[in-house]
Structure 1
Amino acid sequence: MLTGKLPLHVYKANQEVAPLLISEVAVREKVWQNHTNYFSVLWIIEGQGLLETDFSTTEYAPNQVFCFNIYQAFALHPESETQAQLLLFHPNFFCIETYQHEVGCNGVLFNQVYNAQAINVDSETASELSQLLKNMQSEMKSGELATGELVFSYLKIFLVKLTRLKTAQTPGCNPGIKLPAVLTQLENLINENFTKQHQPAFYAEALHFPLKTLSNLCRKHFHKSLSLLIAEKIILKAKWELLHTDAQVKAVASSLGFKDEFYFSRFFKKHIGLSPSHFRQTEWNMRSGFLSIP
């Protein structure tokens, strides 16, 4: 389990610690890894290899972008010298839920458990994205009046462009690209039952489809195992409940179909790197600091 292997780096976004960070990544022979409480956008510029995240492993190549949710661990296993750019931003600076209707990235880039494949970037868009990153870096270095507002605006445009690219390339989002009918049925079934049914066998039986064949289809089209699809839906809901309600951890566990609070805590920590109570307290402490720019 990747999350358990990587140390979690928790940063508090405030005036002293930038809520948005851009860095160059250079990987040759050793594994490079990332696990933070920031949203992550990784843009592969050069190189090839394998990208590992939780239960899934996929190939990466030049001109591909991968997006990761907060607390999501990932690692690069290079097969050739790899150059990349890493954009990190904290939800206090840019809350994807708040700007969902304007940017549309919440269900496409970061919280879409069904479509986690790479975003292929064409040369024209690559030039635009590169300029936006340079603009953000320049503004942050200047420290002039309204720097935060300008950086926020550049980030917003950056995410809109990525969202449009991924929407055009994603089965189910683009009408021109069709998913197998059974996977559309699977999505609906998971959305309706993930708080009660956690086992892949339930979904295979409900769809009257061989479990092995269904799992292979998930890996082919979603680049994730069926188990991970279910687990990520549970984790997304659990994080929302922990951040937006005062419900006790035991009540959250019960609402998600866990009879044992301690099993839920182990399950959550395996995926996030923190226990539910520690996650809640850490995020509440951080989100009382640097606030989103309206």
Structure 2
Amino acid sequence: MYFDYKDPQLNALLRLTDNVWLIVEDASIQKGLIHMIWNQGEDPVSFDVDGSAITLGPNEITTVTYIHLVRFHRPLPSLTVLSFNREFYCIKDHDHEVSCNGLLFMGARDLPILSLDEKERSSLQTLLQVFEDEFQNKDNIQGEMLQMLLKRFIIKCTRLARAQTLGVSVATDASETIRKFNVLVDEHYKSLKQVADYADLMFKSPKTLSNVFKQHGSKSPLQLIHDRVVIEARRQLLKTSKTAKEIAFDLGFDNVSSFNKLFKKCTNSSPVEFRKQNVVDREKSTIIQE
């Protein structure tokens, strides 16, 4: 299966496929895409995101964005992938519609792993069938219809993310505080490294923030800041030839030793060790996006 919609005037792209090989082969459209990856098979599938192993079980969905480096190991797995770029649907500009930033995309949190029960699986499969039908309707409102379907798919997954990661079925003041914190960290992690910095931006005290995260069983605010810094560090180690010192300064550290200490604390390896290991792993894998 392979469907795509392109608007050359807007440079907009939406794509649906269950053949990962087609994504890997079509290198010209890999940059700048958001992927929603669904394992509809009966066996777990493992792949790497920014040097970390991700295992997607049967009937589980995860999301990756244009900041991530995704590698699939050969033989390539069977996965359903819904992909789009910012020109087709900008999740930041439309956050008031879907409230997904900081939960489903971006943010300082780990990649979401959404588990589908039978009802949810059936609902999303029906929606994918509607996608397939609409991809074949070549009229002047096709783009609007596909955008509406994508928004519906995102909303359904955002609701699952809120319920499964924060334990609430609908948005609450506390869950919105966590979501907003994640988005702010994603925007300012290079310059702001302390919880108090974000508390000031949100007009809250650091203690209030810590209590909100603790009540929802989440990582601490400080850990989320550190995690976001390390995500970017991994990305630069994998995708650039920058030295650890250059990366440290780019991420706002005054000295490389502080950066090395934080990186090793979060990954159990130094930046140099991490890069060497992934050079070896890269030779055994296929890149979907960089």
**How many Å separate the matches in 1 of 2:182 and 2:138?**
46
**How many Å separate the matches in 1 of 2:166 and 2:74?**
28
Offset, 1:84: 1.4
**How many Å separate the matches in 1 of 2:91 and 2:46?**
28
- Equivalent pairs counted in the alignment come to 205
CA deviation string 1:162-219 (max 9, x = no partner)? 00001100047679xxxxxxx9xx98997898334779xxxxxxxxxxxxxxxxx99x
* Aligned partners of 2:98 and 2:154 also within 8 Å: yes
Aligned residue for 2:16? Answer: 22
Matched, 1:58 2:57: no
The 1:50–1:152 alpha-carbon spacing in structure 2 relative to 1, beyond 3 Å, is: same
Q: Secondary structure at the match of 2:66?
A: coil
* Aligned partners of 2:107 and 2:185 also within 8 Å: no
Aligned residue for 1:97? Answer: 92
**How many Å separate the matches in 2 of 1:193 and 1:156?**
27
**How many Å separate the matches in 1 of 2:254 and 2:142?**
49
**How many Å separate the matches in 2 of 1:107 and 1:173?**
15
CA deviation string 1:62-82 (max 9, x = no partner)? 000010112422133489x94
* 1:62 partner letter: P
* Aligned partners of 2:89 and 2:147 also within 8 Å: yes
Q: Secondary structure at the match of 2:68?
A: coil
* Aligned partners of 1:48 and 1:82 also within 8 Å: no
Matched, 1:106 2:93: no
**How many Å separate the matches in 1 of 2:136 and 2:186?**
44
* Aligned partners of 1:195 and 1:234 also within 8 Å: no
Which of 64, 70, 74 pairs up with 1:68?
64
The 1:18–1:69 alpha-carbon spacing in structure 2 relative to 1, beyond 3 Å, is: same
**How many Å separate the matches in 2 of 1:193 and 1:130?**
37
* Aligned partners of 2:135 and 2:142 also within 8 Å: yes
Offset, 1:16: 10
Offset, 1:259: 7.0
CA deviation string 1:72-102 (max 9, x = no partner)? 22133489x9431011101111010111111
**How many Å separate the matches in 2 of 1:104 and 1:161?**
11
**How many Å separate the matches in 1 of 2:87 and 2:51?**
28
Aligned residue for 2:37? Answer: 42
Offset, 1:54: 0.7
**How many Å separate the matches in 1 of 2:14 and 2:188?**
36
Offset, 1:58: 2.7
Matched, 1:229 2:228: yes
The 1:78–1:124 alpha-carbon spacing in structure 2 relative to 1, beyond 3 Å, is: farther
**RMSD, matched Cα:** 4.9
**Superposition TM-score, scaled by structure 1 size:** 0.54
Matched, 1:87 2:66: no
**Superposition TM-score, scaled by structure 2 size:** 0.55
The 1:55–1:113 alpha-carbon spacing in structure 2 relative to 1, beyond 3 Å, is: farther
Q: Secondary structure at the match of 1:110?
A: coil
Which of 149, 161, 167 pairs up with 1:166?
161
**How many Å separate the matches in 1 of 2:26 and 2:168?**
30
Offset, 1:109: 0.9
The 1:198–1:126 alpha-carbon spacing in structure 2 relative to 1, beyond 3 Å, is: same
Aligned residue for 1:142? Answer: 137
Identity of aligned residues (%): 25
The 1:221–1:60 alpha-carbon spacing in structure 2 relative to 1, beyond 3 Å, is: farther
* Aligned partners of 1:140 and 1:147 also within 8 Å: yes
* Aligned partners of 1:38 and 1:91 also within 8 Å: yes
**How many Å separate the matches in 1 of 2:10 and 2:93?**
24
Aligned residue for 1:284? Answer: none
* Aligned partners of 1:56 and 1:225 also within 8 Å: no
